[in-house]
Every structure is written in structure tokens, then in C-alpha cells.
Amino acid sequence: MSIVLGSTRLLDSGRLRGQRIGVVANPASIDQDFVHVLDRVAEAGGITLGAIFGPQHGFNSDLQENMIETPHAESRSWRVPVYSLYSETREPTPAMLEGLDALVVDLQDVGTRIYTFIYTMAYCLKGAAKAGIPVYVCDRPNPIGGDAVEGPMLEPGFESFVGLYPIPMRHGMTIGELARLFNEHFGIGAQLVVEPMTGWSRSTFWEDTGLAWVMPSPNVPSVETTVVYPGTVLFEGTMLSEARGTTRPFELVGAPWIEPNALARALNGYRLPGVHFRPTHFEPTFHKFAKEGCGGVQIHVTDRRRFEPVLGATAILHEMRQVDPAKFTWRPPPYEYEHEKLPIDILAGTSRYREDLERGVDPRRMAESWRPGVTGFEKLRAAYTLY
């Protein structure tokens, strides 16, 4: 399959010649030939790079932990300021945008509501709208495809930096499509230009694209991570380990008090489509339970088209809570700039998810309760899809 990314199409078009631009990017902002977008800007000629903007984890994507703000800096290579949009501000300020003719966003999303890059993009739209400059969003593949939609919808009152708008956990959209949705339906009103890809279809998984996978953030090391991430990211709202500090974050989950064989038997007893839960032990080198042995499971996805990651993770949470409700605890705030609500509630986008787990509701019944919201969203997104 031959895919031409939005960044390539935009820079080849010549539409940015004579302009001074800011670029929102990180190490994953490469094209099909491994050329970084900033190098492509330099090669294009006639474009002045005025500023670089970095999302969470920094422009170099080298800060491991969540909730560690990135300082502003100066690029020695490009001799322009590097502004952090995970700092005292998530929205580019007028001073940061001063002198720019346009803002170019080239970020790799992972297909999940709980990924701050899409909200960095939304804040860039807001800042640019105030400054009166256009935003070019360079489209990239959704690594887990654009067909499936799953999970609870974000409800009013649960907005945060891991969920600004009412969309489901797995949204089935590209970052360019989300830009259109945010800007038009949710009323940002920026001068938005989405540069689409060619050669990508909604049924395409990342391995089918022929593109190299570059970690968009430190704990999304592989495409396999993105497949399970829409569900196991919910473990960030618990005091269970999502296996940060191992080589398989989000694919492994567990805790020191979990007996892995019993957990795996219970989970495989659900006969969930497209997945097998293998009992395992792991020891994180940092983060939760650092240097402490954990029992748990590894999630082996056997059929991506049938696998439902949010249902799978919900089944794990349900069964772990059944093992020992006293040891199963929710992570306390603060979390991603939210200081009052429980992290699990802003991750799920609703308190009902947590309340259902606390009541012992069967995960399959929980999944049924998400379907009306998913159906409504699928009708809404149809107006903003590009492929």
C-alpha cells in the first residue's frame, strides 16, 4: 500500500511559500521516507520556521512520566524557540504566535479519546482563532483503523485534558477528521485546513500502511500497544499496574496481590472475541510497584477486527476487583490538571463506569449500556470523515 501523508502533500503543494510558520511536532512527525517534518520544511524552500511547539512528553518525547511539565527551550538545530504546550499553558499564547502567518500541526494520534495530542491540537485551534491565523492539520493514519467505535461517551461535567469533548473511548477517526469535528461541531471556529492523506482507508491497520512506527510517546512503544490502549489506559485511574516501567506497557496489567493463573482462567472464561489472556509475572522498574513483583495477565490480541479493547479491560478490572475489593483501589487526584474528580471518572468520561464496577455489574452489560452513545456518535462523525 502506498500512503502519502498530509505533511508531504501540504509541503509539496507550495501553499506555505513566503510564510513564517510554527510547527507542532515531535519525533513521530516523520514521513514515509523517514524525513522529519522540520527537515521537509527546510527542503521545501521559501518557508521560514518561526517556532516549534511540543505536546506532552516534549518535542523530543523524552519525558517518561505523565504530569511532568516540559520547559520551554531554544532549538540549537533550528535556532528558534521551542514552546511547550504541556506547561503553564496548554494553549499557545499570543506571544508564542506573534509574527507567525500559520500554524502547522503534524502529530501522530493513537485512536483513543484519552490521548492528549488531540487536545493539544484543539487548543492550537483555539489559540490560532484568537490570533487570526490559519491552522494546517496534516492528516495521519489512525493506527487501529477507522471502522470500530467503542466505549462510554464523555458526559458533560467530566471534561479534562484527557477528554475535552463528548466522544467515545475508541473514536475511529483520524486526527484530521477530529480537527474538523472539534472545529465545526464543537464550535472552535478557527481557520482550519486539513490536508488529507492519499491511499488510506478506514479498514487499514498500521502494519498495512508501509509506514515506520515511531513512538509518539514513551509508553506507546509499538503498534501492539495502540491496539489494547483504548481499554487498558483506564488502569491509570487505579492503583493497579498498567506495566509502565516494563517493555510491554498497557499490554501487561497486574498487581502484587494478583494470582495470575486464576485471573487468566476467569478472563478466558468470558470467551471474548479476538483475545487471549495469558497468566504472567512482571516487575516494573519504575512507576507503580517499582522493583516489586506483580502477578497479572498479558493481553494477546488474536483478531484485531473482532477484539473490543474497552470491554476486555473492563473485564480485567471487574475480575481483579472480585479477587479482593479492599486491595482494589482507585487512584486519587490530581491527574492531568484535574484536582477534584477521581482520575478513573475523567478517564472514563463518566462516574457511571466506576459505579458499575463497584456494584459488580457484568462487563458485558456495561458494554451494552455504551451502545446508544456509540450509535449516536457514529451518525455524527459521518459528517466529518474524509475517507
User: pLDDT digit of tens for each residue in the chain (387 aa)?
Assistant: 689 999 999 999 999 999 999 999 999 999 999 999 999 999 999 999 999 999 999 899 876 666 678 889 988 888 999 999 999 999 999 999 999 999 999 999 999 999 999 999 999 999 999 999 999 999 999 999 999 999 999 999 999 999 999 999 999 999 999 999 999 999 999 999 999 999 999 999 999 999 999 999 999 999 999 999 999 999 999 999 999 999 999 999 999 999 999 999 999 999 999 999 999 999 999 999 999 999 999 999 999 999 999 999 999 999 999 999 999 999 999 999 999 999 999 999 999 999 999 999 999 999 999 999 999 999 999 999 999
| Residue pointed to by grid coordinates 463518566 | 350
Q: Rounded to whole angstroms, what are the CA distances from 141 to 44, 133, 318?
A: 23, 26, 32
pTM, 2 dp? 0.96
Top CATH class, 6-212: alpha beta
| Residue pointed to by grid coordinates 517499582 | 290
In contact, 171 and 111? CB cutoff 8 Å: yes
User: CA angle, corner 121, sides to 105 and 205, nearest 5?
Assistant: 75
How far from the centroid of its chain's Cα atoms is residue 270's Cα?
A: 28
Fold of 223-370: Aspartate Aminotransferase, domain 1 (3.90.1150)
b/e map 366-385, b = 16+ CB within 10 Å: bbeebeebbeebeeebeebe
Q: 41 in helix, strand or coil?
A: helix
Residue spans per domain, the chain: 6-212, 223-370
In order, the DSSP letters of 179-236 are HHIIIIIT-----EEEE--BS--TT--GGGTTPPP--SSTT--SHHHHHHHHHHGGGG
